[in-house]
Structure 1
C-alpha cells in the first residue's frame, strides 16, 4: 500500500523531486521506491524525454486504477459507526463559481460554523481541470450548473436561478423600469469569463446559440468584480438574479428584468461515487439541502415572478408609491 501511494505521486507529478515534496520523503527514498516499482511491473513507468519526464504506456494506464484504489481505501479508513459534526475536524475541498460562494456557500459556512465549529472548508474556483479533480479526488465536492455535470458520479439538485440585468443607478438607464430588446443589444456589456480556458457563462452560451451578439466591451474574470466595473458607466451586466439582487443591496446599482429570453438554470452538488456512503459527505449534503430550501423560501416571491414588481429596486418602488399618493 505504501508503494501505491508513492506510485500515485509519481504518476501525477511525473517527477521524483516533486513526489518527494508531496510525500515528505527524501529524494533517495523516493528513487528507491521507483526502482522497486519498476522491478515489480517490469516497466520503466517514468522516463526522461529531453528536459522533462514522460510516462510509459503502462504508466499512463495505471493513473486511474491506482487513484481509484487509494480513494476506496480512504473511504474505508474514514468509515465510522456514527458521525458527530460538533466534534469533527473533517476538511472538505469544494470547487464552485464565485457566484455560488457568494449566494449559497457563504450561508452554508455560517450554518456550519455553529453546528460544526472545528470543520474546515477549502473553497476553490471551478476551472478546466474541475472534472479531473473530482475523478482523482483532489476535489471532494463540486457545486456546478446542470450543463457542467461530470458523468459517472452521483449528483443532487440544489437550487434554481434566472438571469436579470444590472445597470448603474445614475446612468443612462436610471429612469427605466425595463429594457427593450433593441436597447439591450445596442448597449455595451460587461461579461464574465473565468479559468485558464476562459470559460463563458450560461447566458452567453444561450445568446450565442440564438445567433445574437452582445457588445462585450469589458470581460471580468469573476462575478465579484462586476459591481465596481459597472458603477459610473452606461454598461449592462447580465447576472444570475440572486447575485444581482444581493449586489443592489451593497452598491448603487439598479436591477432590471432581462429583455431577452434566457432559460432558468440549476446548480447541483456532485461528489465522487466512492464517497456515496461517507457519513460526513451525507451530513454535508443534508446541510446543503437545508440551506437551499431556506434560501428558496426566502427568495420565492422574486424568483417565481417575472413581473416588473419582482425586479424593481427599492428606490423605484418608493418613487411609485409617492406618485400614487
Structure 2
C-alpha cells in the first residue's frame, strides 16, 4: 500500500491519504465494491468507507447503479484514464534510493517498446539483467502511436521508450544499435525474380505498418518522397505480423533486417534488398530528464547500451562488421 502523506497543497488535498489512489483504481476498474475489496485484500466495509471518502472529495458519485450493475459517471471516466499514470508516478517517487545495488534490487523497470524491439533487443537485455540483477523485473509495454505522439507525458510514468531516431527531439537519449530496412516477399511470389525492382515496388500490393501522419515507417515515407506511392492493401500495427501477411501472396512489405531474418523461414518469405537507398534505422532509448541522476536508471541505461551492442544486426558484439548480405 502507498504511504499516508499530508499534502501542503490547497484545502481539497490537505491530509489526503495516497492509499485512496489504490482504492480509486480498484473501484474504477472493477466497478464493484466487493470485487475491488478482493483485489485490494480489504473488507467490503473498508472499501465502502474509501468510496465514501472519494465521493466527498470529488463531489461526485463516481459509481452509479444502472439496473443490477454499476456504471462510471463522466468524471469517473476521466479519472480512469489518469489513475494508472498517477499511480506509476507515485510509485516511482517512493522507489527512489540514494544508491542502487543491482544484485540485491527487486525493482521493476518498465520499457515501452515495439514488438520488433522486444524481439531483437529483449533477449539480450533480459540475459544481462538476469545475470547481474536476478531480482529485477523487466516489463515490456507495447508501443502505440499515442506513446510517440505524447512521449514526454508518457515518459513521466515509465522508465523509457525504445524508438528509432526521427520521431523525437529535445529528450535525453541513449543510442542502442543500427539496423536497415529490407523488403520481404513470398518465397513463391511469381512476380518477383531474384532481385526486387522499382517497377515491382510501384505495382505490387503492399502490407505497411502504421500508416498515419505521425506514425509511419521511415523507409515507406521515403518512397513517397521519391515519387512512388505504394499500393497499400493492408495496414497493421505490428511488425511481427508483417511477413505472415505477405506469405503465399503477391504482396511486398518493408521490415527491419534484424527481424526479417529471424522470421523468414517460419513465415515462408524471401528477404530482398530494397531497390532504392533506404534511410538507416538507428534504434535508441529515450528517457525523461528527471531521471538523469537516478542511480538505478543510470544502471539501466548502461545495461541497455550493452544489450544494444550485442543485438546489433549490423555489427557483431565485439564491434566487427558482419558480411553484407545485400551488396550494392
| Aligned-partner Cα distance in 2 for 1:134–1:100 | 18
Give the corresponding residue for 1:217. 233
Shift of 1:251: 5.8
| Aligned-partner Cα distance in 2 for 1:249–1:102 | 16
Q: Which has the higher helix share?
A: 1
Q: 2:254 matched to 1:238? A: yes
Aligned 1:87-166 pairs, distance under 5 A = 87-130=104-147, 131=150, 134=154, 137=157, 139-149=158-168, 154-166=172-184
| Aligned-partner Cα distance in 2 for 1:136–1:44 | 28
Shift of 1:214: 1.5
Give the corresponding residue for 1:84. 101
Most deviating of 110-119 and 200-209: 200-209
Give the corresponding residue for 2:9. none
Shift of 1:104: 1.3
Shift of 1:281: 2.0
RMSD: 4.1
Gaps of 5+ in 1: 304-308, 313-325
Shift of 1:43: 4.1
Contact 1:91 1:119 (8 Å CA) reproduced:
yes
For each residue in 1:5-57, what CA deviation from the matched residue of structure 2 results, as whole angstroms up to 9, or x when unmatched? Answer: 31475379385747656544345423423444565x5844847598431229x
Shift of 1:152: 8.1
SS at match of 1:122: strand
Shift of 1:82: 3.6
SS at match of 1:223: coil
**TM-score under structure 1 normalisation?**
0.70
- How many residues are matched? 295
Q: 2:19 matched to 1:5? A: yes
SS at match of 1:166: strand
Task: From the superposition, tell whether residues 269 and 5 of structure 1 become closer, same or farther in structure 2 (CA, over 3 Å).
Answer: farther
